[in-house]
Amino acid sequence: MLPPRARTTAQRVRPAMHQLLESLTSQPALVLGHRTDILATNPLARALFADFDALPARHRNYARWMLLDEEARTLFVDWEQQARNAVEALRLDSAAAADADTQRLIGELSLASADFQRWWSDHRVHLRTHGTKRLRHPVVGALEVQFETLALPGDDHQVLYVYTAEPRTASHDALTLLSSWSGRGAPSRER
């Protein structure tokens, strides 16, 4: 095995991508980078999933959040499958670049999560390109959202995730309600 490479540059999202995220007012959207780091989110994504911007920078990682945050466990109806997919996506990404930050994240998750240890040892990989997430949101209740991913060719390892709900469904209504709140500051996620 090759030694971990030193991290050469910080991951940054271009200002125009931030503008695009902010313009998506009725669709939750976020940008994931290398090792599933959460690089940018729009207000509706923060209201739907978690306020990632409020987390310490080193905790803004999708796999870490899925495995170690209790709110993620209660938010996802099929948490085990979603968390396993996150581990498999991290394994796929870590194969491309085994830098020191990635190795630290893998070590942290190995120590903190028996689920991570078990799924990591399976050596499965998962490339998320589209899918469905079923949620039990503490404010708007049950909803199902579909996601599509868009790789950003000019920005290495950055992927835009955009979530939608099928029109004329309870999920669409719930997302619309959450959207109306997220523009003014989302309500507390407390029950």
Tokens read off for 13: 């999202």
Task: Name all domains of the chain by residue range, CATH numbers in brackets.
Answer: 15-182 (3.30.450.180)
- Type of residue found at 157: H
Residue 114 has pLDDT above 70, yes or no: yes
Using an 8 Å Cβ cutoff, are 4 and 103 in contact?
A: yes
Using an 8 Å Cβ cutoff, are 113 and 67 in contact?
A: yes
Pairing of strands 141-151, 130-137: antiparallel
| pTM > 0.85: yes or no | yes
Q: How many residues does the chain have?
A: 191
Using an 8 Å Cβ cutoff, are 130 and 146 in contact?
A: yes
pLDDT tens digits, one per residue of 4-32: 444 446 788 999 999 999 999 999 999 99
CB atoms within 10 A of CB 149: 14
pLDDT tens digits, one per residue of 125-178: 988 899 999 999 999 999 999 999 999 988 878 999 999 999 999 999 999 999
pLDDT tens digits, one per residue of 44-90: 999 999 999 999 998 999 999 999 999 999 999 999 999 999 999 99
Q: What are phi and psi of 147, to 5 degrees?
A: -130, 150
